[in-house]
Amino acid sequence: MTFTETFEIKHPITQAPMAGVTTPKFVAAAAKAGVLGSIGAGYLSAEATRDFIREVKKLTDKPFAVNLFIPEHVDMDQEQLRQAYLALEPICKKLGIPYGEAPLSEPSFDEQVDVLIDERVAVCSFTFGLPEKTVVRKLKEHDIYLIGTATTVEEAVLAEQIGMDAVVAQGAEAGGHRGSFIGEQLVPLEELLPSIVKAVSIPVIAAGGIANKEHLELQLSRGAAAVQIGTALLAADESGAHPLYKEAVLAAVDNRTVLTKAFSGKQARGIRNEFIELTASVPIAPYPYQNDLTKKIRSEAAKLGKPEFMSLWAGESVHETTEGTVEEIIGKFI
Ligand SMILES: Cc1cc2nc3c(=O)[nH]c(=O)nc-3n(C[C@H](O)[C@H](O)[C@H](O)COP(=O)(O)O)c2cc1C
């Protein structure tokens, strides 16, 4: 069966799960446009995940995916954490916001898995690693289609071995966090996709910098079963991105994105701004600690209308992003 037949979709496209950006309207609009919609549930609690799924179900009866973050267990060095915390003080001062301890977040992965089963979600995708075999078995017993994320051939092979039904080949161009879980190699999609297609027998979804019809056709000709589109949809009417984030995306010119660990402790691609520059050589805690440490700065910056201190995740093709409804933007790929 082809990718489109599996999900009863019209086009070989998945709307990228984008934690903090996807809204129920956005996911439902993607489904309505004939592509696979995906909820970015990585930062949500189990209850918020359930509410989100139910909201999407109210808006569409089409299948959709829910994306989860594989939790990471890091033995945190307290001194490193303190140094990373102290390094953010000047930024808080600059923003005029109180500088205080950040509560550390708790992963809700296992409870989210139970919610997905309860809610009979059709597809579950993962980033930042692969689920354990027991989780894979549990989801499969409930006929949930599983999609892993790989940034290297090695990761894609492991995804297939553990039982993923498909794998996203996330090229170096991609916006947002890198899904890498073995090392931090940056392989351009042009090289990554054909090598993953050769190495695995499950469908491969190409992601990273796909911004128009020509890009889509090129990836399909290189063996992709479908493409995943993130940045191109960021400024859509239904996107939950902050208005200033959308503005920055629409104003971005070529070569404006960089990879940084400053916001979360994990490599991610976004539009270069003052926060990234100020933190270029300061101590940074590993993910997820740095993410917790900068949470207040990011939310206050959004409230104060200061995009220079917000995480403006975007891929290398950000300069091609346009306004419109999800349906209109998807229409440009067809
Ligand atoms: C704002 C933003 C948030 C993202 N959040 C997630 C996420 O929660 N889970 C995930 O698997 N990928 C996430 N990604 C990565 C996308 O799945 C995908 O790899 C990427 O958007 C493809 O590259 P493109 O942005 O150039 O289209 C995110 C990307 C962006 C731009």
Distance CA 125, CA 65 (A): 7
Distance CA 263, CA 9 (A): 35
Q: Is 321 exposed, middle or buried (0-12, 13-18, 19+ CB in 10 A)?
A: buried
pLDDT above 90 for 73: no
The average pLDDT across 308-332 equals 98
CA triplet 239, 14, 63: central angle to 5 degrees? 90
The average pLDDT across 37-62 equals 98
The predicted structure's pLDDT at residue 238: 98
The average pLDDT across 133-145 equals 98
Ligand 1: residue whose CA is nearest its atom 6: 18
pLDDT above 90 for 76: no
Query: Ligand 1 pocket test: which of 15, 18, 164, 321 has the largest number of ligand atoms within 8 Å of its C-beta?
Result: 18
For ligand 1, whether the C-beta of 67 sits within 6 Å is yes
Distance CA 280, CA 54 (A): 41
C-alpha 239 to ligand 1 mean position (Å): 13
The two tokens of residue 7 are 């999900």
More confident residue, 74 or 129: 129
Confidence of residue 105 (pLDDT cuts 50, 70, 90): confident
The predicted structure's pLDDT at residue 257: 97
Q: Give the residue extent of every domain in the chain.
A: 3-71+107-239+320-331
Question: What is the percentage of the chain residues whose pLDDT exceeds 90?
Answer: 94
Q: Report which residue type is found at 141.
A: E
C-alpha 87 to ligand 1 mean position (Å): 28
Confidence of residue 159 (pLDDT cuts 50, 70, 90): very high
- Cα 304 to the chain's mean position, in Å? 25
More confident residue, 113 or 254: 113
Ligand 1: residue whose CA is nearest its atom 17: 16
Residues 249-296 have pLDDT tens digits of 999 998 889 999 999 999 999 999 999 999 999 999 999 999 999 999
More confident residue, 325 or 102: 325
Residues 225-246 have pLDDT tens digits of 999 999 999 999 999 999 999 9
Indicate the class that CATH gives domain 3-71+107-239+320-331.
Answer: alpha beta
Query: Ligand 1 pocket test: which of 66, 68, 126, 177 has the largest number of ligand atoms within 8 Å of its C-beta?
Result: 177
Q: What is the pTM of this model?
A: 0.97
For ligand 1, whether the C-beta of 264 sits within 6 Å is no
Atom of ligand 1 nearest to the CA of 170: 19
C-alpha 176 to ligand 1 mean position (Å): 5
The average pLDDT across 2-17 equals 96
The predicted structure's pLDDT at residue 59: 98
pLDDT above 90 for 74: no
Distance CA 229, CA 29 (A): 14
- Give CA separation, 89 vs 174, 311, 312, in Å: 30, 18, 21
pLDDT above 80 for 103: no
Question: What is the percentage of the chain residues whose pLDDT exceeds 70?
Answer: 100
The predicted structure's pLDDT at residue 119: 98
Atom of ligand 1 nearest to the CA of 128: 11
Confidence of residue 106 (pLDDT cuts 50, 70, 90): confident
Atom of ligand 1 nearest to the CA of 179: 11
Least confident of 90-99, 107-116, 260-269, 306-315: 90-99
The predicted structure's pLDDT at residue 293: 94
Mean pLDDT of the chain: 96
The predicted structure's pLDDT at residue 104: 80
For ligand 1, whether the C-beta of 209 sits within 6 Å is yes
pLDDT above 90 for 98: no
The average pLDDT across 148-157 equals 98
For ligand 1, whether the C-beta of 151 sits within 6 Å is no
Q: Is the link from the previous residue into 203 a cis peptide, with omega within 30 of 0?
A: no
